Amino acid sequence: MSWAKFAPKTRESAGKKKGATTGKGNPWLGGTLGEIAIGASRTHTFLGARYKRIARRRGKKRALVATGNSALTIVYHLLADPDTDDQDLGPDHYDSRINKQRRAWTLMRQIEQLTGHKVILQASDGTAA
């Protein structure tokens, strides 16, 4: 990642985080990865979903660096082993890994803690879950 100018730096002093660049590296490779990340962010693929997830939490610039890092990792593994199966994980990869029942219980507990009221889930047919 550092050769591609896509390795994020951490600058911190006395607990205060300061802005930092991605460091030194090949500007041509870094620019190409940036273009790949921008292009991938507009698609319905694994990289597009990754960009959207990170941009929602961390911001667009950090999401571009993270998506570029993922793209570079994918390219490295494809070039390192030509027999690698190159299938896209799909835009719903992260959604399929979530346990929906556990997520519902977690959100219920959070609502109960915030409001102080008991929360009861009801199924669409009216039965309590």
Q: What is the pLDDT of residue 20?
A: 64
Lowest-confidence segment of 19-23, 51-55, 79-83, 100-104 by average pLDDT: 19-23
CB 71 within 8 A of CB 30: no
From 61, 68, 59, select the one nearest 25 (Cα to Cα): 68
- pTM here? 0.61
pLDDT digits (tens, 9 = 90+) for 78-129: 888 878 777 767 677 666 666 777 778 888 888 999 888 888 877 776 565 5
The continuous run of DSSP H or E covering 17 comes out as strand 16-18
Contacts of 58 (CB under 8 A, 6+ apart): 66
Q: Both ends of the chain: CA-CA distance in Å?
A: 47
